[in-house]
Each structure stands twice: as C-alpha cells, then as structure tokens.
Structure 1
Amino acid sequence: MSLVETETRGDAIWLWLNRLERHNALVPALVSDLRSALAYASAAEPVALVLSGRGSSFSTGGDIGGFMDHAGSAEELHAYTEELVGSLHETILDLLAFPAPVLAAVNGPVTGGSAGLMLAADMVAMSETAFVQPYYNQVGFGPDGGWTALLPERIGTSRALAIQYRNTRIGAADAVALGLAECRVPGADLAATIEGWVADFAKGFAQTHRATRQSVWDERRRNGVRERLDQEKTRFLDLVSRQSTLDGMKEFTRKWA
C-alpha cells in the first residue's frame, strides 16, 4: 500500500497521506512517496494541488517510534534524523516551487514538522475539529518543518515564539483569525469547500496563476527559506541524541501509548 495516494478529481490532483495506523506520522518512506507524488503532479500540470490526510488526522509529525527505533547509537539516530528532516524540508521547498496553486484540506490534527506541509500551502481549509500544535518542548526536539523558518513571517515573531514556548494548541477558529487558514468548516464539507476553490481557479487563466506563484515564491525567496530550514535541521540534529531528548521521547511515548 502506498503511503501517499494520488487521486485526480476534476481539474485538481489530490495527494493523501496514507499511514492510518500511525495518524499519518512522518517516516522517510512516506516523505519519499510524497516527493515522488509531487513530481508526478507537477508534470501533470493540474489547475491545483490538494494535500490532505486519510483518517482522522492530517499528520502528527515525525513518528517518535521511528526515532526510538534508531536510537541504538548517536550515529544511527543522526543518520535517520538527517534523512527524515532533510527530506521533509526538501518536500516543503518542492511545494513552494510547485507550478500551480497548492491547497490543504486539513481534516484533523497537525503536529510537529507536518505543519510545514500546511505552511507551504497557499490556501487552507480546516475541519472544525482540526488543530495545529508544536509539541517540541514536550520532547526536547528543535523545531523543524518551518516552525521558525515560515511561521513568524505568517503570524508575526512574538506570536510564533509564544505558541512554541507554551505549546499552544491552535484550533481551527484561531487558525483562521491568525491567517493560517482561510476557513473552518464541518468535516463533511471539507472536500466540497476545496472543490469550490478549484472550480473558481479553473475560470481564470492557469498561466496567470503560475506567474503569480512564481513571482511570490521566486528563487531568492525560496533560498531564504532553505537557509532557515537548514538552520532548523542543524539544531534538530544537535538536540536529538542528547540524553534529555532520549528521555523526553520515552516519556512522550509512554504518555501517549
């Protein structure tokens, strides 16, 4: 079973994170499948790209179990982390460079680095039960996925810092108020909302949408994001093999088992 399902719906290509048993938590294989699906979608030139998750969660970020499985030595853990976080960051950059509008249908919780998939979207619709939350200070990780590289630009530095210091849960209504989402809707209406947006896009010139997105996310701006994502990865790698972080992962796993 593919960890990312690709579906064509009218003029849009939908990419579904599909690791239901782990709430679509990120592991290298899933991120690799997502990058492959993005390359396919880019070549197909859809009116829009839509990201969503199967089941009750959008994604709960990096799978703590995956980190624990590779914690036998600092070298092994670093190699695993480099692969996962590095690939996630490349995926975010792929999304920023995507030639068509990128939409996110956020069907449930978005935690940890998976927030980067939402932050890289142009327009976001959230179900009423969805939320965004960092959780980094509950484990000892450094923020990844754009929590420091993208979020401050979206909502302001002070708010971005406060959310991460306090591990604030951002509900759908607050996400709309902060400008992280366009709207919150009942879960049953999520797909129809996105499809309505795609229908609106299809009334205009795709070449204009492409030019608009390329001008906003030009190479210079993407390179700035890359530099900040690289800083996130460096700090994540510095913290991940510390004993305090290993203890934090064990406690987090026990708490949520």
Structure 2
Amino acid sequence: MTENQSFEQQVPSLVRVEDRVLRVAVATSEHGTSLSPAGMEQGIAALRAAGPEIGAVLLVGEGANFCAGGNVLGFAAAEDRSAHLLDIANLFHDFVRELDEAAVPVVAAVHGWAAGAGMSLALLADIALGGPGTKMRAAYPSIGFSPDGGMSWTLPRIVGQARAREIIMTDAVIGADEAVRLGLLSRLVADGEIQSEALRLARTLAHGPTSSYATIRSLVAGSAQRTLSEQLDVEAAAISAAASSPIGIEGVDAFVEKRRPDWDSVRES
C-alpha cells in the first residue's frame, strides 16, 4: 500500500483525494446547501493530515449551490444563540486558518449561490471559477449579523475598503459578470462545467511546481505588511533559494533542453 492510498482511506465521506487534489465539500443539499459543520470538521482533519502527496485543494458544494450561507434555522433553534454561533464561527475559522496556512493552491468551484459563509470561502480561494448563473451576496445584514469567515479582511483587499463596506452593508446581489469584474471570481465557464473545470485546473496545479506555488502564496500574503523595498529583499531571497531547489533545477534544465518539466519525478526522487 502506498502512502497516498493509506491517506485516502483515512479521509471521511465529505473529503476525498483525486489525483493529488484534496476535494472538500463545504456544503451539501442538507439544510439548503448551508455551510456544513461536518465538511468543516473533516476538512480541518484532512488539511492537518495532508503531506506532500497533496498538491492542491478543491472546494465544492454538493447540491444546488456552492454554499448558501449558514444554517439560519439552526441558529433560530439553538437554546443559547450566542454560544451556538460562537461554536459555529470558531469551527469555520479553524477551517479558514487551515486553508490560509496550506502550502498548495486552493481552487473553488462556485456554482449557484455563494452567500454569507459561501462568499467568504470563495474570496479565500487562490482561483475561484464561476458560471453565468453564479451569484454572490454578503447576506449577513439580512439577518442582523456581521461577517465571519474572513470576509471583512479579504473583501477590502480585493475591492478596497469603501466598496467592501458598500457591498456588505447594502447586502448587494452580485452577478457573475460583476463578480469577475470586481475580482471576486477569477473567470467564468459554462454553468454545467464549473466543477469539472475546477477539478481539471486543480489537478493541473497539483502536478505543477508546488514549491513555487507555496512561495507565491507566501509572497502575496505577506506583501501587505511590507514596504516595496522589504518585499524586494524577500523576493530576492526566495528566487535565489528556488534556483538550487529540485523544482527550480528541473524547471531551468527543462527550458534549456527544450522539453516539458517533469515536476512529479522531481517530487518523487
């Protein structure tokens, strides 16, 4: 039994591994495609257990939508609503932290609605694919709540503080084309092809120069806290280290030899 097979057998039902891609179902048709606590729990465990056999993460919704937000009926039924929401938010945020700390690209297949927690998750992805029928909505003000899942952190960094406040406070419904224009989605594909195209993309990334992707994620994430001069120093150190890494050596050698880089063989050696 290989290391990858052993890992796959440990993955619960809402999480599975497909060709180096860790697929996490963040919502199911149960409770109207609301955020799945089981998906969060299983996703956290899988992300913490994942090693070099995982090259990308794919976030999907199983049902009519990517994720239509939190389970509001569950909120209403809770004996202590504040304690219940705190538990849900903490679980959700543990998942968000694991995604943020992952060294591999995160792809989201955003079909139907991405509302509330679903919009927060879409904003966290490195690449979020949608379709003509995709709609996004902050949704929190409609039930008198404020955002969770990092929306108040990610959205201002994508659209600016003023526009972020407007989008969240007015609870605007953002159509697919507008979501791409604003940078909330990366690009659109046919509605029926969102998950298949997202999986294809995630597989491509999973078999690519993963150490390069890890550094790219780190550089971009840290750029907001650095001056340009500081960022240049970090970039110089990173590209210098890449030059003598197995991935960097293979990439340069393949270019000189006029062949496609064989990233998988480098990882396995």
- TM tier, smaller: 0.7 to 0.9
2: distance between equivalents of 1:137 and 1:39? 33
2: distance between equivalents of 1:60 and 1:212? 30
Q: CA deviation at 1:203?
A: 6.0
**Unpaired segments of 5 or more residues in structure 2?**
1-10, 226-269
Are residues 1:197 and 2:201 paired? Answer: yes
Are residues 1:33 and 2:42 paired? Answer: yes
1: distance between equivalents of 2:16 and 2:82? 35
Q: CA deviation at 1:175?
A: 0.9
Pairing partner for 1:125 from 117, 121, 129: 129
1: distance between equivalents of 2:38 and 2:151? 22
Give 1:116's aligned residue. Answer: 120
Give 1:77's aligned residue. Answer: 81
Q: Residues 14-53 of structure 1 correspond to what in structure 2 (within 5 A)?
A: 14-26=23-35, 28-40=37-49, 42-43=50-51, 45-53=53-61
Structure 1 residues 32 and 199 mapped into 2: Cα distance closer, same or farther (>3 Å)?
A: closer
- Cα pair 1:107 1:187 within 8 Å, conserved: yes
Aligned residues: 215
Q: CA deviation at 1:55?
A: 1.3
Are residues 1:67 and 2:71 paired? Answer: no
Are residues 1:155 and 2:126 paired? Answer: no
Are residues 1:181 and 2:189 paired? Answer: no
Helix, strand or coil: the match of 2:85? Answer: helix
- Summarize deviations over 1:62-113 as a string: whole Å, max 9, x none: 111111111x3xxx22221111111212211111111100000112201112
Letter of the 2:117 partner, please give it. Answer: G
Structure of higher CA gyration radius? 2
Structure 1 residues 96 and 4 mapped into 2: Cα distance closer, same or farther (>3 Å)?
A: farther
Are residues 1:56 and 2:64 paired? Answer: yes
2: distance between equivalents of 1:43 and 1:189? 29
Give 1:95's aligned residue. Answer: 99
Helix, strand or coil: the match of 1:129? Answer: coil
- Cα pair 1:27 1:84 within 8 Å, conserved: no
2: distance between equivalents of 1:154 and 1:3? 34
TM-score normalised according to structure 2 size: 0.72
- Cα pair 1:23 1:58 within 8 Å, conserved: no
**More RCO (CA 8 Å, sep 6+):** 1
1: distance between equivalents of 2:25 and 2:176? 20
Give 1:9's aligned residue. Answer: 18
Letter of the 1:64 partner, please give it. Answer: V
Structure 1 residues 122 and 182 mapped into 2: Cα distance closer, same or farther (>3 Å)?
A: same
- Summarize deviations over 1:17-47 as a string: whole Å, max 9, x none: 353132331254442233223324x335422
Give 1:249's aligned residue. Answer: none
**Unpaired segments of 5 or more residues in structure 1?**
222-257
Helix, strand or coil: the match of 1:212? Answer: helix
Q: Higher mean Cα deviation, 29-38 or 107-116?
A: 29-38
Give the % identical residues.
26
- Cα pair 1:24 1:53 within 8 Å, conserved: yes
2: distance between equivalents of 1:126 and 1:4? 25
TM-score normalised according to structure 1 size: 0.75
Give 1:212's aligned residue. Answer: 216
Give 1:253's aligned residue. Answer: none
